[in-house]
Amino acid sequence: MESILWIPVAFAASAAWLYILSINLPEHTGSQRSALKFPRNFDDLTALASLLQEYKSDNLQYVMLLFCSAYLFKQTFAIPGSFFMNVLGGALFGTWRAFLMACVLTASGATFCYLLSWCFGKSYIEKFFPDKVQFMQKKVTDNMDSLFFFLLFLRLFPMSPNWFLNMVSPVLDVPIHMFFLSVFIGLMPYNFICVQTGSMLFEITSLDRIFTKEITLKMFGIAMVALLPGLLINKFKEGRLKTE
């Protein structure tokens, strides 16, 4: 029988795993452990990136494990902050490696969120969001003959927040393989722009500096290239996707 109480149990177990990682940092960083926390602003982000960058060369596997665990934790439990994690990934691992990691982690974390909802939260989603569930159910039914492209459309041009799409998808009986692929592909533009920003993190003094004329033009070009597959899909499927 489904019980929502298993969700805080899973949350506590995941938080405990992150705590274990945080208290077992490599020896030479022990004096700075208090700086290890989720970034919430630019100063937190640069401090954490600098801290992890210091010993990444000697402890790359540990840094990757810590980063992946923290990223999955946020995605699984729909905790805001994916932008900061993507930017951090770009700063630590470079654009292309971080981009691949972000795509895999985003899709995996969203799928874990899907599974939590499917196992323990379906009835609660229907109870507390009846109108939204009914709206999304109609859209899924209307687009059943091209469901994957509709799911991809929702990620590229969202009607609802990603966290809600993750939780409501099992209620709508969206197949898990379609769900995973739609998240993996659909959030590529967002992930790429974020990690590209991260690769320039140590060259800027605040997040406001990201949007200088030169960098904005660069970001615009990247966005156009990254969004091209979605725009083509929308063009070829516009007669079939019922998104109004």
8, part of any domain: no
Distance CA 90, CA 94 (A): 5
203, part of any domain: yes
Q: What is the pLDDT of residue 30?
A: 47
Instruction: State mean pLDDT over 211-221.
Output: 60
229, part of any domain: yes
Query: Using H for helix, E for strand and C for coil, what is the string for 124-170?
Result: HHHHHCHHHHHHHHHHHHHCHHHHHHHHHHHHHCCCCCHHHHHHHCC
Instruction: State mean pLDDT over 170-190.
Output: 92
66, part of any domain: yes
Element (H, E) at 190: helix 188-198
- For the stretch 62-115, pLDDT in tens is 999 999 999 999 999 999 888 899 999 999 999 999 999 999 999 999 999 999
- Under the banding of pLDDT at 50, 70 and 90, the label for residue 31 is very low
Instruction: State mean pLDDT over 13-21.
Output: 92
171, part of any domain: yes
The whole domain housing 84 covers 40-237
7, part of any domain: no
CB-CB contact of 97 with 105 (8 Å): no
214 by Cβ neighbours in 10 Å (0-12 / 13-18 / 19+) ranks as exposed
Taking the CB of residue 177, how many other CB atoms lie within 10 A of it? Answer: 10
pTM tops 0.75, yes or no: yes
- For the stretch 136-163, pLDDT in tens is 999 888 888 888 888 888 887 777 788 9
Share of the chain above pLDDT 90, in %: 36
34, part of any domain: no
Q: What is the pLDDT of residue 171?
A: 92
Domain count, the chain: 1
Q: Which residue has the tokens 């990934």?
A: 89
* Torsion-angle region of 140 (φ positive above 0: left; ψ -120 to 50: alpha; else: beta): alpha
CA dihedral 14, 115, 8, 40 (to 10 degrees): 60
Share of the chain above pLDDT 70, in %: 78
Structure tokens at 233: 């899909």
179, part of any domain: yes
CA dihedral 111, 172, 181, 220 (to 10 degrees): -100
From residue 226, alpha-carbon distances to 2, 115, 219, 220, 234 in Å are 40, 29, 10, 10, 14
Instruction: State mean pLDDT over 48-55.
Output: 85
CB-CB contact of 26 with 52 (8 Å): no
